[in-house]
Structure 1
Amino acid sequence: MKFSEVKPRRGRPPKYPRDNPDTKKALIRSGIEMLTERGYMTSDIEGILKKVGIPKGSFYYYFESKESFGREVMASYSYYFAYKLDKSLHNESISPLSRIYAFFEDAQRGMAKYHFERGCLVGNLGQEVATLPNGYRDLLNDILIDWQNRIELCLREAQDIGELALTADCKMLATFFWIGWEGAVMRAKLMKDAEPLKIFIEGFMAGLPR
């Protein structure tokens, strides 16, 4: 059953009552889980509502449509992922380039934790861009640019301490990083193995001008 087919149902009381902010958070969290596994077009509200434990009709109490739900899911995922990035990239106890490697290690553990069933929500939706609602393309690009800017700042810190050559184009390298990283995540999910992530990060690090 797709989002557009949602109908009210009778049954036991919901786990989360209406007007409870935790209900909306639970729906968004469940949406993130599903979209990182299955993408947007094949995600269904039935699985989300079953996990959260609320009636089908309650979905439209919190979200006007599947499209608005998707936007809030993307915003939440963007915030969550930026936080994870910053945990590694702002760790001043290690060098800037080591922080990028630390991000890889954290991401690798995260994918392994869920048996490589979950990829990157932004990457998943990017593969469906031709069929996504209007405006989603710009949202996805904005998120990727934000992530690129964070990597770029880290690379500039590496330049400041002599860990990266001053001739390095940090903006280009940051863009290259995310193009390669998203491909590696997709391949790791396909293979159910971290090897593509390892190959990418080692190749990226080895190719940096020192």
Structure 2
Amino acid sequence: MPKPSLKDTILDAGLKTMFRTGYNGTSVRDIAAAAGAPQGSFTNHFRSKEAFAREVLDRYFAHVKGCVAQALNDKSLTPRQRLRRYLDIITGRLEGDNWSRGCLIGDLSLETSTSSEALRARLDEIFQEWRAPFAACIAEAQAGREIDDAFKPNDLAEFLLTSWQGAILRMKVERSPASLERFKSIVFSTVLKEVEQ
């Protein structure tokens, strides 16, 4: 009888380890040890640490897409409220980690975009895919005259996600939600402010 695959265990352990020590600070040995797996199990499932990181990214992004869907698909809220709901959901998750752990997508963007073309390209694809539901929600808000249409939905969605990533990085340094709350206050008072009817 074949041995059960340890691939999912290794991916889960590697995701947690990379969150804690980063891509460059995490070795294959660290990942295997965290998974309680022999190092050979890692090399049986992944041709390189870079290939492993790509699968970790995909797994993490699937989780992020679930948070996006939870907020942006809630039709009981207006589009503008849905955008705010997403940021509030993420704030709650970051609070659960005592403001010390941010977004793996943002972390790996900083760490690997100049050293790994494969990861840089995958991160670019992730950001483009991530932006799409926000752009659609913003377009819906603009069509309903809920927010101003001075900017294109794609540009606003890009601004929202990029600036939010910066606020998360600052949060990690401060170990405080101040940058997140500041961002939400400013963005919903300016580019996403409610149009006066």
Is the pair's TM-score, using the shorter chain for normalization, greater than 0.5?
yes
CA deviations 1:31-68 (Å, max 9, x no partner) are 22222333211123344323321122211111111111
Q: CA deviation at 1:117?
A: 2.5
Match of 1:28 in 2: 11
Match of 1:155 in 2: 138
Structure 2 vs 1, CA of residues 118 and 45 (structure 1 numbering), >3 Å: closer, same or farther? farther
Match of 1:69 in 2: 52
Match of 2:20 in 1: 37
Contact 1:18 1:58 in 2 (8 A): no
- Pick the aligned partner of 2:120 from 129, 134, 137: 137
Match of 1:3 in 2: none
- Pick the aligned partner of 1:119 from 97, 102, 108: 102
Match of 2:182 in 1: 199
Match of 1:57 in 2: 40
CA deviations 1:74-100 (Å, max 9, x no partner) are 111122211111111111111111111
Q: TM-score normalised to the size of structure 2? A: 0.89
Distance 1:163 1:131 in 2: 40
Look up the equivalent residue of 2:8 and give its one-letter code: K
Q: TM-score normalised to the size of structure 1? A: 0.84
Match of 1:5 in 2: none
Equivalenced residue count is 192
Distance 1:31 1:81 in 2: 17
Distance 1:189 1:198 in 2: 14
Look up the equivalent residue of 1:112 and give its one-letter code: E
Distance 1:37 1:201 in 2: 26
Tell me if 1:164 matches 2:150: no
Contact 2:114 2:120 in 1 (8 A): no
Match of 1:95 in 2: 78
Q: CA deviation at 1:109?
A: 1.2
Distance 1:105 1:87 in 2: 12
Q: Which runs of 5+ in 2 are unaligned?
A: none
Q: Which runs of 5+ in 1 are unaligned?
A: 1-16
Look up the equivalent residue of 2:122 and give its one-letter code: L
The 10-residue stretch of structure 1 (125-134 or 106-115) with the greater mean CA deviation from structure 2: 125-134
Matched residue SS, 1:128: helix
Distance 2:159 2:101 in 1: 23
Contact 1:33 1:118 in 2 (8 A): no
